[in-house]
Amino acid sequence: MKKIKPSEGNKTFCMAPWTHTYLSPQSERRLCCASREPAQSFKQYIDTGNDQKEYKPLTLKGHWNSDHMRSVRLRMMAGEELSECEVCNHKLLNTNVYRSYWNQLFRHKIDEAFNSTDETGATTMPTISFDYRFNNLCNFKCRMCGDMLSSSWEAESRKHKTWSQESQPWMASPLREQIIKFQDTQVVQEFVEAIEKKTIKEIYWCGGEPLMWDMHWKAMQRIIELGFAKEVYVRYNTNLSRTSFKGIKLFDLLPQFQDWQICSSLDGTGEVGEYIRDGLDYEQWLRNFKEGMAVAKTSREMRLDYTITMPGLLELKNMFDLSRELNVEILTKVMFTFSDDEILSPSALPKELLHSIINEALAYMEPLATRKQQSLIDVLKNLAQRETFTATKKGKERQERIDKIRQQDIAKILSRDERVLDWWTSI
């Protein structure tokens, strides 16, 4: 097999399969959080050949040089475009693809990746980057999220009986208990072992809400105790509803690491933001974010993470202004969907209306923008090039059911733009 390095024109190569490991709160292993392997989290687990909805989770050792991972590596080195990587291939989330991140972070290991991989695709390189979602513990119920990534969502689903064993088998006993046991034993053991061996070079703390995890705080303290924090890069995707735990302050820990980055999720200001991200106290979030800014030494350490939803389109100018006011970068992505039931996607809007909103926002932003707002502008322009879809009544009814449970009213939010409200009413 011919091996093609990125320097030789391989545009589909990604360092993640040689360095990184991802694990969901349901023990699903994938290439990374954005990869699109078959939906094993619902019915099966990768590499088991299991189609009976049995719980057969893989250990990291069993996964790392599995048939699937070896196949991925061989195809990547050959320069093939992988279906697993369609989020990056087609820029479905944003214009800055994950592939670029991994290749930049571990560019010094590209030669090692090629040299360490045998003719079967097995590698001798150890896992040095971890994105382990130890559980779905989270105090928010964001509209574009769900019970798999939020315990608050899960509790709501159970209370109001809005889940089914068919669509969410992982929520049913005894599977739920089996998952918890595996995560609390095997997964924790793998992570702790990597810390104790000092092999970890990067950690992505994402949830759930990682700042609610006991494991997060123990791990960060242990890395410092072992004396290799200056070798570790830590990054977060967090709702930033808290900045301390049992007397330990986040912003006392972070400066002790090689580098750190907090991307704090915020999808709208004030009332709109609190609607989209149920659990958000916007003013408290703002105080916590400014607490981080006070200790940040570079502009990349504190950044906004803005996911554009349909109601979030009403906040484009406000989010742009917030970025300018705080003088921080606003990283932007689009809520994407493969189903026309997902009415909160901005692509659910009629094309003419969507383009009007985008063009109005760009007319305001572009004369004022700096590089810190460029991601927002680029993503909006990319969104304008995407196909829209016809929203379904089923999708609308789902959101209205959630409104009823949470005593909220999406029509009140959408009334900020009569055009959007008229569209919503017409569905």
Q: Rounded distance, CA 381 to CA 358, Å?
A: 8
- Name, in order, each residue with C-beta under 8 angstroms of 184's C-beta and a sequence gap of 6 or more: 134
Place of tokens 């087609």: 90
As given in the structure block, the two tokens for residue 247 are 């007397």
CA dihedral 70, 71, 73, 79 (to 10 degrees): 160
Q: Among 222, 238, 265, 32, which residue's Cα sits nearest to residue 131?
A: 32
pLDDT (0 to 100) of residue 53: 60
Q: Rounded distance, CA 223 to CA 209, Å?
A: 20
Q: Contact at 8 Å (CB) between 368 and 298?
A: no
Q: Among 33, 224, 222, which residue's Cα sits nearest to residue 130?
A: 33
pLDDT (0 to 100) of residue 48: 42
Query: Beta partners for 130?
Result: 21, 203
Q: Contact at 8 Å (CB) between 373 and 304?
A: no
Give the global pTM.
0.94
Q: Contact at 8 Å (CB) between 231 and 201?
A: yes
Residue 421: in which H helix or E strand, if any?
helix 418-426
Strands 129-132 and 202-205, bridge-based pairing: parallel
- Cβ–Cβ contacts within 10 Å for residue 120, how many? 12
Compute the chain's Rg from CA coordinates: 22
Q: Rounded distance, CA 99 to CA 12, Å?
A: 8
Q: Contact at 8 Å (CB) between 283 and 322?
A: no
- Cβ–Cβ contacts within 10 Å for residue 52, how many? 9
End-to-end alpha carbon distance in the chain: 53
pLDDT (0 to 100) of residue 47: 39
pLDDT (0 to 100) of residue 43: 45
pLDDT (0 to 100) of residue 36: 81
Burial class (CB in 10 A: 0-12, 13-18, 19+), 152: buried
pLDDT (0 to 100) of residue 164: 87
As given in the structure block, the two tokens for residue 336 are 């994407």
Q: Rounded distance, CA 318 to CA 35, Å?
A: 31
pLDDT under 50: residue ranges of the chain: 39-50
Query: Residue 162 has what DSSP assignment?
Result: -
Strands 141-142 and 277-278, bridge-based pairing: antiparallel
pLDDT (0 to 100) of residue 55: 80
